[in-house]
């Protein structure tokens, strides 16, 4: 089945540093979604990408839809303590007419003040 591989699995950074994480797949995706999840809460949608090569920003967050359509990247600039959480990439299952999302295992971000 489809799998999304996220790296790194976890990262510790100093407040103010920039962060980069990525998501790769062996299958082509036509949509990439990035979510953030705080402990004990549901995932919150950060950015949606619909076109290969697309670069989309949401405040200090920037995400890119890879040209091969098999990867996506998320960057966070000037990290702050509230950026702590788990970041998931997701994409729609490739079955015809399916709207179920496949998720990666997440990148856990810790910010050291």
Should residue 39 be labelled a site residue for other proteins when binding is judged by CB under 8 A?
no
Contacting other proteins (CB under 8 A), which of 48, 56, 60, 75? Answer: 48
C-beta neighbour count of 7 within 10 angstroms:
14
Contacting other proteins (CB under 8 A), which of 8, 16, 28, 45? Answer: 45
> Which residue reads 């920037």 in tokens?
62
Q: State the binding string over 76-105 for other proteins (x if CB under 8 A, else -).
A: ------------x-xxxx----xxxxxxxx
Contacting other proteins (CB under 8 A), which of 35, 63, 64, 83? Answer: 35
CB closer to other proteins, 85 vs 91: 91
Q: Where are the beta strands (DSSP E) in the chain?
A: 4-7, 10-14, 19-25, 32-37, 44-49, 55-58, 61-65, 71-76, 85-92, 101-103, 107-112
Whether the CB-CB separation of 86 and 37 falls below 8 Å is answered with yes
DSSP 95: S
CB closer to other proteins, 33 vs 61: 33
Binding site for other proteins (CB under 8 A): 4, 31, 33, 35, 40-45, 48, 88, 90-93, 98-106
């Amino acid at each position: 089945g489809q799998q999304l591989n996220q790296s790194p699995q976890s990262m510790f950074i100093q407040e103010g540093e920039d962060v980069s994480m990525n998501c790769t797949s062996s299958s082509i995706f036509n949509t990439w979604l990035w979510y953030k999840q705080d402990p004990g809460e549901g995932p919150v949608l950060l950015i949606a990408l619909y076109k290969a090569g697309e670069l989309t920003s949401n405040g200090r967050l920037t995400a890119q839809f890879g040209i091969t359509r098999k990867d996506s990247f998320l960057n966070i600039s000037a990290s702050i303590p509230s950026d702590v959480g788990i970041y998931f990439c997701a994409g729609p299952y490739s079955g015809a007419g399916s709207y179920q999302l496949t998720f990666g295992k997440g990148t856990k971000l810790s910010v050291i003040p």
